[in-house]
Amino acid sequence: MKKPTKNTSGRGQRDLTVKVKTARGRSLSSTRWLQRQLNDPYVKKAKAEGYRGRAAYKILEIDDKYRFLVPGARIVDLGCAPGGWCQVAVKRANALAERPSKAQGRVLGIDLQEVEAIPGAEIHQLDFLSEDADKLVMAWLDGPADVVMSDMAASSSGHKQTDHLKIIALCEAAAEFAFDVLTPGGTFVAKVLAGGAEGNLQKLLKSRFEKVANVKPPASRADSSEKFVVATGFKGPLVQDDPDA
């Protein structure tokens, strides 16, 4: 089934590309996906280092640049399955108190489906769009969050523009949730798909955060349209107009 290519470079040992033949009953696209997985260095690295998926390296690389997963931080991971982002957050926020000299953080994972327990993280099966979800999250955290992050993606329809609009709507909903639970100065990170409908999201975030950046970390595949929005310096709740003023 799998046939490794020959190493003819003469430059010593190295990982060899694995070619996958299309098996009966398996589509060409499935075969390509399998071949890409077998040859993806981030997939191999995730297995070796104990992460639940290659996506862990996306948030690692983003945080290396923006430094929001700090010891003592209260972090909410929306759509946390399978748990790779939570694993990274636990380590960087010192949620397991592995370094006593550092402040101990809190990591809260939220997902519609049941997620296998992650040491150092508190996992809840919850729809973040449900009524009072923000209040529940702050109660579980014993206060507001310093970081709200999301690697969520809506179910694919197979139509690029439709999928783009669906993930932008999901990201906007996650942003609105973040506005309700973040502490002033907090950070919001979310995955989006490039496609032309990001304008309203960018405008919304720029009105509520000091800085908004768009980044495609090295771990994000070059042929993928995904990118990540990083909004830092939350300005805090909007001041409501007093009707009696």
Residue 14: per-residue pLDDT: 36
CA distances from 4 to 27, 43, 237 (A): 21, 17, 57
Assigned token pair, 20: 């996958």
The string of pLDDT tens digits covering residues 185-197 is 999 999 998 776 6
Q: Which segments are annotated as binding site for S-adenosyl-L-methionine?
A: 83, 85, 111, 127, 151
Mean pLDDT of 6-34: 45
On whether the pTM is more than 0.95, the answer is no
Residues 38 and 16: their CA atoms lie apart, in Å, by 10
Q: Which residues are annotated as a binding site?
A: 83, 85, 111, 127, 151
156-212 pLDDT tens trace: 777 777 777 888 999 999 999 999 999 999 999 999 987 766 788 999 999 999 999
> Cβ distance 144 to 75 under 8 Å?
no
Whole-angstrom Cα distance, residue 192 to residue 179?
18
Query: What CATH architecture is 53-234?
Result: 3-Layer(aba) Sandwich (3.40)
Neighbours of 233 (CB within 10 A): 13
Residue 21 annotated as catalytic: no
Whether the pLDDT of residue 77 is over 70: the answer is yes
In this predicted model, what pLDDT tens digit does every residue of 116-172 receive, in sequence order?
Answer: 999 999 999 999 999 999 999 999 999 999 999 999 987 777 777 777 788 899 999
DSSP class of residue 155?
P
Domain parsing of the chain, residue ranges: 2-39, 53-234
> Alpha carbon 123 to chain centroid distance?
15
| Catalytic residue chosen out of the listed positions 19, 102, 166, 191 | 191
Q: In the prediction, which pLDDT does 19 show?
A: 47
Q: Return the percentage of the chain with pLDDT > 90, whole number.
A: 61
Q: What is the mean pLDDT of residues 38-50?
A: 81
Distance CA 241, CA 161 (A): 38
Please tell me which residue, 115 or 7, carries the higher pLDDT value: 115
Q: Give tens-digit pLDDT for 9-22.
A: 333 333 434 444 44
